[in-house]
Amino acid sequence: MYEFLRERSSHRQLEATLTECLHVCHGYTFFYNPPIPGLQRLFHQEWFGVGPLHPDPEQMAALRAEYFIKVWDDHWETEEDKADFRADNCEWNARWARHLRELYDAMTIQSPMMIWVTRCWHDQLYLWWMLTTLDSWGDIDWENVWLVDAISHIIGECGSVGDRDVCLPCHSDKALEESFAENRYPIDKEFVTSAKRMWDAFARGALDEVDQLRRIEEIVQPVASVVEYGLGFMLPRQDKSGQYRLSSLDQFFLKDFSKNEWLRPIDTAKDWLKKDDVAPLYLDNTFNGSPYLYRLREWDTYQPDHPLIESKPIPEGPSGYVNIEYRLTDFGDDIIRNGFTDARLVPPYPFGGTTIYDPEALWCTVPEGDGYRVVQV
């Protein structure tokens, strides 16, 4: 997939074994417990596809702390729990901005460094950010940094996985060992520079620039359909009549609700989770703070005089997936089916360094050939 990296650096050979390298990865899907004995791992738990971004790490940490406090603040049962969350959340959001270098320095192995990615939107954002961050240190020896593409062996292990999937399940040590042996590629400065251009444009919120760069930057070409899908999924689109349609994200969240039936979030989420029966405790611990629930609350409360959806509580429900019911209003049903002309009717959300549905500067996609082009109107 990244064969051009091998061709450019054909002189580079890795003599180290799996346990003689530092492995940097996004989240828990890599090297899940129990880990391979002796493995040194540096996790990065941020999901840059959700919440606001900024080119400056300190400002980004503050923005993301504020955002996630707002998203998750009503989850906690006591004020003490809420205070603990706020303190921890601020540190969580700042940790990777301020202390990644300290975590790196604490590793007994620092090189060779393996950066693990899959072919999903979140991992590509992570890759752009990680290469930008490492390069900002000024002392990383890129001759000792490698990219590992894990997807091919995960597909064989987990069945058919499309290149547009947003997440992947945890997978076995065997699959990781095979990827390490067969799918590692030497990273060079040209590749890093390409990543920096992508991250800078996305973190600044220049989505039209991201759209242009995705067509030409070498770091994107092996995963072009992933980036095309990830960018387009989050933006409203303008059809040939000039009418705006909700983003695929909002359509996905709202498509199973109707104006004729009250539904709990779990009633629609069950189809995503591929489970017929989901334990309330599992939902309470894992999904209660999800962007899905927060987005439904935004739709419910954004226009009190003209709500898009309406709700009624279920007091005995143990989590946000089962303690409320929603149904569409006539107004909301019309927007979902027929689109809108006034962005002020739709609750905005952050994406990269900008805001979607900003009536003063509306980002959207317009048809172009077999795909789309991003414009701001």
Distance from C-alpha of 26 to C-alpha of 30, rounded to nearest angstrom:
8
Q: Are 115 and 147 in contact (CB under 8 A)?
A: yes
Backbone angles phi, psi at 288, to 5 degrees: -65, -30
Asked if the bond preceding 112 is cis, omega within 30° of 0, the reply is yes
Q: Is the peptide bond before 34 cis (omega within 30 degrees of 0)?
A: yes
pTM of structure:
0.87
Q: Could you tell me which of 266, 256, 366, 237 has the C-alpha nearest to residue 309?
A: 256
Tens of pLDDT along the chain (377 residues)?
899 999 999 999 999 999 999 998 876 555 555 567 788 888 777 778 889 999 998 888 888 888 877 777 666 666 776 676 666 655 555 555 567 788 888 889 999 999 998 888 888 999 999 999 999 999 999 999 999 987 644 433 333 333 333 334 445 667 778 888 989 999 999 999 999 999 999 999 999 999 999 999 999 999 999 899 999 999 999 998 889 999 999 998 898 899 999 999 888 876 655 444 433 433 333 344 567 888 999 999 998 888 899 999 998 776 777 889 999 999 999 999 999 999 999 999 999 999 999 999 999 999 999 999 999 99
Tokens of 96: 């990777």
